[in-house]
Each structure stands twice: as structure tokens, then as C-alpha cells.
Chain A
Amino acid sequence: TQLLEQSPQFLSIQEGENLTVYCNSSSVFSSLQWYRQEPGEGPVLLVTVVTGGEVKKLKRLTFQFGDARKDSSLHITAAQPGDTGLYLCAGAQGGSYIPTFGRGTSLIVHP
């Protein structure tokens, strides 16, 4: 059982469409991070959310941390082919040094 469940697992859309991916857990996290990983490369940090209810925007990407700090979402507006990649959420619980990653959402944006 994954501590962080990501959905959907796969997403294939056309350029210009909007999409939302989810990261859910039954546990409370002190913080959650979102990463994007492209084939053959390591994950690149997009954002860290810390406060329940927090919303952060990064150009066309909007990240939200749930009020109870158990879930998060990533919304992409007007997706572009350059958004293609594996989107990973990761979190740490309390004072733990052991971060947990979800399995990721694989996004393909077709031109």
C-alpha cells in the first residue's frame, strides 16, 4: 500500500487542454513537494507546500495543499508539449527524515 496515492497514473491530452492530478493520503504531512521528471533525468523540484489550504502558482501550474495536509493537487492550464513528463509528489511526516514519494502521474501532451 502506497502512503501517497497519485491519480491518474497516466494522462494523454492535446495541447491547450487543462488537467488536474492528485496526490492523496490518509496520513498528515508536514510538507509536500511536487517534482517533474523527464526520461533519463532526475526529478526537478517544482514547489513545496507547507501550510494547510496553501495555494501556490508557478506560471500555468497551480498547486494546492489540502486543509488537513493529507492531500494535494496540481492543475495545469493550457498544457504544452513541454509539460510532458512524470509528475511526482513527495512528503515527509512530522520530524521524520524519511521522505515518501508517490508512484507519479505520467503526462503526455500531444502537439
Chain B
Amino acid sequence: DAGVTQSPTHLIKTRGQHVTLRCSPISGHKSVSWYQQVLGQGPQFIFQYYEKEERGRGNFPDRFSARQFPNYSSELNVNALLLGDSALYLCASSFLDSLNQPQHFGDGTRLSIL
């Protein structure tokens, strides 16, 4: 069975540009969460979506937005990129929206801002 897949795996952008990252959850999983992991730190929660509705939002500026599609895949959009946005962006899926549910992570998109 396919795990959580993210695309692209690596991306290089310049300051001020925008980026769209994509995530396909495990088949049957309805919840998708996005995290930012800066080098040397643990993942930081950005968004959670369940059944196409936003269920949680972390402490990130409005430049960050996301959505979930009818097939439960998801996109994370970041506008007006800053150098500090350079990080590994992780997507995780779970069957339900409870945080006690096991979360399955993809291998992430490595975003570098020049």
C-alpha cells in the first residue's frame, strides 16, 4: 500500500515568490496535517484539515494557506516567501481527526529560499 506521498521532494525559490506543495494521504485517510521542520528542531504544526474543513491552525502568518480536495489530497500554499521559510515541509495523514489517532508522515518537501 502506498504511504503518504508529497511533491515535489525538493524545491528552490527566491524571496517574494510563492510556492504550492502537494500531499496525497494514505488511501482511506480523511485527515491531513501540515508541519514545518526547521533544521535542528522538531516539526511545528501549521494546519489540519478533515473532510475538507480546517480543524486547526498553528501560529503561522496569513501568507500560509491550505486546502483539502474531495479526494482528501491537500495543498499548502505559501506567498511572499522569506528566507526564514526555508525548511522541510511535512504532511501527515490519519483516519480520523483526533490527535490520538496514529499520524503517518510523508518524507517531506525540502524548500530552500535564496
Q: Binary interface profile of A, 85-102, with partner B (CB < 8 Å = 1, else 0)?
A: 000101010001111111
25 contacts between A and B (CB under 8 A): A31-B99, A31-B100, A40-B107, A41-B108, A42-B90, A42-B105, A42-B106, A45-B104, A88-B42, A90-B42, A90-B43, A92-B99, A92-B100, A96-B56, A97-B48, A97-B99, A98-B56, A98-B58, A99-B33, A99-B45, A100-B45, A101-B35, A101-B42, A101-B43, A101-B44
Query: Does A42 lie within 8 Å of B108, measured CB to CB?
Result: yes
Question: Given A41-B107, A42-B105, A44-B105, does the pair A103, B99 have CB atoms closer than 8 Å?
Answer: no
Instruction: Report A-chain residues with C-beta under 8 Å of the C-beta of B44.
Output: 101
Q: Is B55 an interface position by the 8 A CB rule? A: yes
Residue of A nearest to B42 (CB): A101
- A7 in the interface, Cβ–Cβ < 8 Å? no
The answer to whether the Cβ of A30 comes within 8 Å of any Cβ in the partner chain is yes
The residues of A with any CB-CB pair to B shorter than 8 Å are 4, 6, 30-31, 33, 35, 40-45, 48, 50, 88, 90, 92, 96-104
Minimal beta-carbon separation of B97 from chain A (angstroms): 7
Q: Which of A30, A44, A50, A103 contacts B42 (CB 8 A)?
A: A103
Count contacts between A and B, CB distance < 8 Å: 60
Asked if B105 and A43 sit within 8 Å, CB to CB, the answer is yes
- The reply to whether A103 and B41 form a contact with Cβ atoms under 8 Å apart is yes
The answer to whether A30 and B108 have CB atoms under 8 Å apart is no
CB within 8 Å of A: which of B46-86? 48, 55-58
B90 / chain A contacts, CB cutoff of 8 Å: 42-43
**Which of B35, B56, B105, B107 interacts with A97 by CB under 8 Å?**
B56
Q: Is there contact, CB below 8 Å, between A102 and B42? A: yes
A98 near B45: Cβ-Cβ < 8 Å:
yes
Given contacts A97-B56, A99-B99, contact A88 B43 (CB under 8 A): yes
CB distance from B31 to the nearest CB of A (A): 10
Complex CA–CA separation, A99 to B35 (angstroms): 10
Report the Cα distance A107→B83, complex, angstroms. 29
B7 at the A interface (CB under 8 A): no
